[in-house]
């Protein structure tokens, strides 16, 4: 048999890397501008509501995650 040592890596729980707040703001603005330019009024309204809800949930999750650590 061979003498190869198999070492198991320790399972450490690492926090996922977060993007900066500026990145999220820029992404929101870019998506909002895309909606404003290419969407009709109905899609613009629904898309804006969707963007706000999505980014608000992301912000709330980030804040609550940081509060626990």
User: How confident is the model over 9-49, as pLDDT tens digits?
Assistant: 555 556 667 778 889 999 999 999 999 999 999 999 999 99
Average pLDDT over residues 45-69: 81
- pLDDT number for residue 65: 61
Q: How far is CA 68 from CA 10, 30, 55, in A?
A: 23, 31, 20
Name the more confident of 7 and 23: 23
pLDDT at 5 over 80: no
Structure tokens at 14: 């690492």
Distance CA 69, CA 55 (A): 21
Which helix (H) or strand (E) segment is 27 a member of?
helix 21-38
Q: What is the pLDDT of residue 36?
A: 95
- Provide the pLDDT for residue 17: 75
């Amino acid at each position: 048999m061979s003498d190869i040592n198999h070492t198991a890596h320790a399972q450490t729980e690492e926090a996922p890397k977060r993007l900066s707040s500026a990145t999220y703001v820029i992404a929101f603005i870019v998506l909002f501008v895309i909606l404003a330019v290419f969407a009709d009024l109905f899609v613009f309204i629904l898309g804006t509501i969707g963007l706000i809800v999505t980014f608000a949930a992301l912000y709330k999750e980030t804040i609550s995650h940081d509060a626990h650590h």
